[in-house]
Homo-oligomer: A and B are copies of this chain.
């Protein structure tokens, strides 16, 4: 806790450790990872690792927290051009494709697997991943839908319900396939686009106004 900068402990080593630990944990899981490996692969002595992080658990929590944050902002940074009066179908399609493209990467898939496998040991991490992942996405979408709805361009009762429907219409199938079948099951850009388009079509059939 408190501050890692109590004295002049090198920032570069701190991040070197975090980076190495990230790779090791992603590859081997929490129990499978080993602190000697992490130290060696950070180019740092084991003692230094323990100078920067109190324990394996602490290190793991920081690692997962950091990737989760990074991934979350990657998803939500680009584009928020919500209010444009363009074709709604167009808007939803590009939203869907961006979402799919960002989330369906080996790294984020592996993070999900890791966190899900450790729900028992680290329930907090999974909760945070849910909040910064699906939940954050759905809240953002719900806001957009409400605005569209007020302009009479969408017919949405409960905007959160609609957002969840849209989100999972788009994400669920490829996400679940990739989770269980591995990175080879990640669809290519073409398939992604077709899948996203069908999701948009279904959504607009249920919530559209025209």
Contact = CB atoms under 8 A, between A and B. Distances in A.
B126 A182 contact: yes
Count identical subunits in the complex: 2
| Interface magnitude class on chain A | 35 or more
A205 B32 CA distance: 48
Interface stretch (A46-54, A69-77, A92-100, A163-171): A163-171
Nearest to A117: B117
Contacts of A172: 168, 171-172, 176
Given A29-B31, A31-B32, A119 B182 contact: yes
Nearest to A130: B180
A106 to B, nearest CB: 12
Contacts of A206: 201-202, 205-206
Interface in A123-164: 123, 126-127, 129-130, 134, 161, 164
Interface of A: 27-29, 31-32, 112-121, 123, 126-127, 129-130, 134, 161, 164-165, 168-169, 171-173, 176-177, 179-182, 198-199, 201-203, 205-207
Given A113-B120, A130-B181, A161-B198, 7 more contacts: A112-B116, A113-B116, A116-B116, A116-B117, A123-B182, A127-B180, A205-B206
Give the 10 A-B residue pairs with the shortest CB-CB distance, closest first: A117-B117, A168-B172, A172-B172, A205-B206, A202-B206, A31-B31, A130-B180, A126-B180, A205-B205, A116-B116
